[in-house]
Amino acid sequence: MDNQNNEMKVGIVELRIQVTGLQQTIEELKKRVTMLEGGLATKADITHVREIVKESVVIKKINDSKSVGMDCKVGVSLDGKVLTESIIEHTSDSIQGRVIKGSEINETK
């Protein structure tokens, strides 16, 4: 009977050791899951930041590029006689107007 009691006590001790080991494993797994969730949230934020940076690079390239020719020539005539001709030049940040025949007109920026 003592032998059987000793075997049961040993079995109980082994089970307690296993339960403690399982509890520690569960705690470690919880920590890792929390860490992975935080990492995923950070990764999503990094992806968003990369998209914003990419958009700003595109905008910078557009702003730094040469403007496309958007100039136009306007003529004013009265009874078939040309009174003035002007050229309006459009750039990315200004509009310039010049009179070819007549006096210089305003320049707007």
How much is the mean pLDDT over the chain? 76
* Tokens, residue 82: 């040309």
d(CA 5, CA 3): 5
Place of tokens 């009265």: 78
Greatest mean pLDDT range, 18-22, 42-46, 70-74: 18-22
Q: What is the mean pLDDT of residues 75-100?
A: 66
DSSP annotation string for 9-63? HHHHHHHHHHHHHHHHHHHHHHHHHHHHHHHHHHHHHHHHHHHHHHHHHHHHHHH
User: What pLDDT is attached to residue 14?
Assistant: 92
User: What pLDDT is attached to residue 68?
Assistant: 64
Q: What is the mean pLDDT of residues 65-76?
A: 68
| Pair 56, 40: CB distance under 8 Å | no
Between 33 and 95, residue with greater pLDDT: 33
Place of tokens 């320049």: 107
Of 10-14, 36-40, 59-63, minimum mean pLDDT range: 59-63
Tens digit of each residue's pLDDT (9 = 90 or more) over 48-61:
778 888 888 888 87
Of 16-30, 41-55, 79-93, minimum mean pLDDT range: 79-93
